[in-house]
Structure 1
Amino acid sequence: MKFLHTCLRVGNLDRSIDFYKNALGFEISRKKDFPEDKFTLCFLKLANSSYELELTYNYGVSSYEKGEAYGHIALSCQNFEKTYERLKNDGYKVTDLYKLSDNSDEFFFITDPDGYDIEIIKAK
C-alpha cells in the first residue's frame, strides 16, 4: 500500500486553490471537470512530495458540515517561524504557537476557507 491522496470537498474551488497555493505553497498537478456528473476535481501537491490533496467541487454546493470525525491534516515546515509570521500578517486564520508538555515539536494550526484545519509542525 501507498498513500495517494486525501480528498476535501470545497464550496468554492477557485478560493480553495488560491489558499493552498498562496498560503501553503501547493501547485496544481492536475484538474479535471466532469460536467455531466456535475463536479470538478483538482489535485494539488507540494514540490517535495508525490502525495496529493484532492479538492472536490460539486456544482451548486457552497458548504459542507465537517462533523466531529474530521481532525486535521499535517504538514512539516522548514522555515517555521518565518512562515508563521507571514501567514499571520497576511490575515490567515492561525492559532498561537503550541508545544505539548512532552517537549514535542512546536506547531500551530491554520484554517482553510472551508473550515478544514491544517497543522503546521516545525521540521527537525
Structure 2
Amino acid sequence: MSDAPGFRYMHTMIRVLDLDKSIAFYTEVLGMTLLRRDDYPGGKFTNAFVGYGPEDKEAVVELTLNWGREEPYEIGTGFGHLALGVNDIYAVCAELEKRGAKIPRKPGPMQHGTTHIAFVEDPDGYKIELIGLDTMQ
C-alpha cells in the first residue's frame, strides 16, 4: 500500500521461554543489537527488542517473556518464519554452525527456484529463513 501514508512495518513479536538465552541467540549468533529491554511488573512480562538498526528506521523483533511460564509455547500452524537477507549464505551458515546455531535446512537452491535459502532455529524453535541476496533473481 504505497499510497497509504503513515504506515510503517515496525516489529514482529514472538513469545520466548528463556529471555536471556533468546537475546544471546539473536545478538551473539545472528548479530542483532539489543535495542531495549523493559519490565512490566503490572502485566508480569518483559519485552526485549532486537534488530539490525534503530526502531525508528528498521523493523525489529520483539521478544516477550511472560513471567512464570514454564511450558514451551506451541508455535502453531499459522506462523511460518522470520526472514533475513545475507550475502554468501554458505559462509554465513558455516559461521552460524560454529556459533552453535541449529540449521535444519542447509543452504541450497529453493525447490522451485534458483535463489539459495537455509533455515535456522532459535532457542524456542522459531524458524528464521536466510535468503542469499547474491543468488536472488
Q: Tell me the TM-score normalised to structure 1 length.
A: 0.91
| Structure 1 letter corresponding to 2:29 | A
Aligned partner (choices 75, 83, 94) of residue 84 of structure 2? 75
Q: Match of 2:67?
A: 59
Note the residue ranges of structure 2 that are not aligned, 5 or more in a row.
1-6
* Distance 1:79-1:100 versus aligned 2 partners, 3 A rule: closer
Contact 2:16 2:22 in 1 (8 A): yes
**Which residue matches 2:3?**
none
For 1:103, the equivalent position in structure 2 comes to 113
Q: Pairwise CA RMSD of aligned residues?
A: 1.6
Quote the Cα distance in structure 2 between the aligned partners of 1:114 and 1:99.
26
| Aligned amino acid, residue 55 of structure 1 | L
**The one of 8, 17, 40 aligned to 1:11:** 17
1-structure distance, mates of 2:122, 2:97: 13
How many aligned residue pairs are there? 124
Rg larger in structure: 2
Pairing partner for 1:119 from 129, 132, 135: 129
Partners in 2 of 1:109 and 1:33 — Cα distance? 31
Q: Find the aligned partners of 1:2 and 1:45 in 2 and give their Cα distance.
A: 16
SS of the aligned residue for 1:96 comes to: strand
CA offset at residue 103 of structure 1?
Answer: 3.5
How far 1:102 moved relative to its partner? 4.3
